[in-house]
Chain A
Amino acid sequence: MSNTYKIKKVVVKTEYKVLAAILIILAGGLVLLPKYEKNSGIKPESFLLNIMSTERYVTTDQIANKMINQDPNLLLIDVRKKEDFDKFSLPNAVNIPLAKVLSSDSEAYLNQDTYDVVLYSNDNCYADQAWQLCNRMGYKHIYVLKGGLNEWFNTIINPQEPKITDSDLAFKDYNFRKAAAMYFGVGNKTNTAPKVKPKRVIKLAKKKKKVAEGGC
């Protein structure tokens, strides 16, 4: 009976010993491999491509259209300072000053996929910089209002009258902008009828069918 409780001496073959030693050394080597810093977010090459593409811009007409149709997916974010925001901003916009773009509260606004976020400021620059920061972190669905509030004022609130020589599209845009201006609280007292491009009158001389002269 004492025999069965004897601990069997395990004779390990030398080959197995060598094998085990090699594997342990390899494992140790893997741990000691030089650590290459990994970045959170996107790679520099893709960042460069994103900087160069103009996909991120939305025009003032598109935004005005969305606001008038009360698109529920739109979220406007003003990146100027709080004082500028309090003085004037687009309706229903949220203020996230540039300094706070990376804070954890603003992450809730920026790092999500329910709303389409449009950043704007007085002019492209600050909004673009905020967009670049967000892009590096890998946030999606973020766009920039091209021209910012300066462009907003020049197109929607105070649109330029198209000249007679402008295209039909220019007239269409102008009428849309005038209507949009009224939605946003600007307009003239005088009832301006929508401008119609004067139709060009082309006088055609009817060609008289000439009877064949002479032979058959």
Chain B
Amino acid sequence: MKELEKTKRISFSAIIFILAVLIGVLSFKKPKNIFKKDNNITLKHIVSQDFIISSKDLNSKSKKQLALIDVRNRFEYNKGHLKNAKNIYTANLLQKANKKYLKKLEAENKTIVLYASTPNKASGPWMLLTQVGYKNVKILCVQTNYNNNKFTTSDYPLEKPQYDYAAFMKKASKSSGIKPKKRQRKVVKLVKKKKKVAEGGC
């Protein structure tokens, strides 16, 4: 009798274990999108700013090499857009159909050029696409205007200081006669977050 009980128990637990493993294997989903590129690579791009092209470069390159993509929403796109630009709203960048389209462009060795109402709005999508793995993505440095029912683009002065700050402040403080109080430099005490080694198992 004892033997029978033992075999029953063992086979029961074995069946449950195998079921659990099977369920685990079947429900193992491959993540839909993964970041293929590391942050450091995008940082290199950012520091060298080599991914920004102006409209002059746009016109000089042959149309066949470029694929313009408008990342604004479709209402703005319908109001007016650049010639030959396809509309992919930022929120839809990771959708299947658009991923297929982008992969096709990559296969044809075309440069993907993004633009939006300001280059700032296009920098987010640019970073997303570069980090997901697309190699040839650039941003068109223009701002879009809509005057008299006509859609135009003008060059955007990227990160240009509008004033010479130091000179302005000097002049301003001279004329006011107010001496700004010398405030003590704030001492920022920072605790370096220790990378916690995984405890226990893997």
B163 CB within 8 Å of chain A: yes
- Given contacts A15-B7, A43-B31, A153-B162, list 11 more A-B pairs with CB under 8 A: A26-B18, A33-B28, A44-B128, A48-B93, A51-B90, A101-B43, A115-B188, A129-B46, A182-B178, A187-B176, A189-B175
Q: Which of A48, A99, A126, A188 counts the most chain B CB atoms within 10 A?
A: A48
> Pick the contact of B33 from A44, A88, A111, A132 — CB < 8 Å?
A44
Q: Which of B173, B176, B185 counts the most chain A CB atoms within 10 A?
A: B176
Are A125 and B18 interface neighbours, CB within 8 A? no
- Alpha-carbon separation in the docked complex, A52 to B120 (Å): 11
In the complex, chain A residues whose CB is within 8 Å of the CB of B125? 51
Are A88 and B166 interface neighbours, CB within 8 A? yes
Q: Which of B34-42, B58-66, B80-88 contacts A (4 or more CB under 8 A)?
A: B34-42
Interface size class of A (residues with CB under 8 A): 35 or more
Are A132 and B188 interface neighbours, CB within 8 A? no
CB distance from A51 to the nearest CB of B (A): 3
- Alpha-carbon separation in the docked complex, A75 to B160 (Å): 24
B127 CB within 8 Å of chain A: yes
Are A47 and B123 interface neighbours, CB within 8 A? no
A interface vs B, CB < 8 Å?
A: 15-16, 19, 22-23, 26, 29-30, 33, 36-39, 41, 43-45, 47-48, 51-52, 75, 87-88, 91-92, 94, 98-99, 101-102, 107-109, 111-112, 114-115, 121-126, 128-129, 132-133, 136-137, 149-150, 153-154, 157-158, 182, 184-189
Q: Could you list some 23 contacts between A and B, CB below 8 A?
A: A43-B31, A44-B35, A44-B132, A45-B94, A48-B91, A52-B91, A75-B188, A88-B166, A92-B183, A92-B186, A98-B46, A122-B161, A123-B158, A124-B120, A128-B120, A128-B123, A129-B46, A132-B123, A133-B39, A153-B163, A185-B173, A186-B178, A187-B178
Q: Which of B124, B125, B176 counts the most chain A CB atoms within 10 A?
A: B124
Q: How many residues of B contact A (CB 8 A)?
A: 61
- Alpha-carbon separation in the docked complex, A63 to B128 (Å): 29
In the complex, chain A residues whose CB is within 8 Å of the CB of B146? none
> Pick the contact of A186 from B31, B119, B161, B172 — CB < 8 Å?
B172
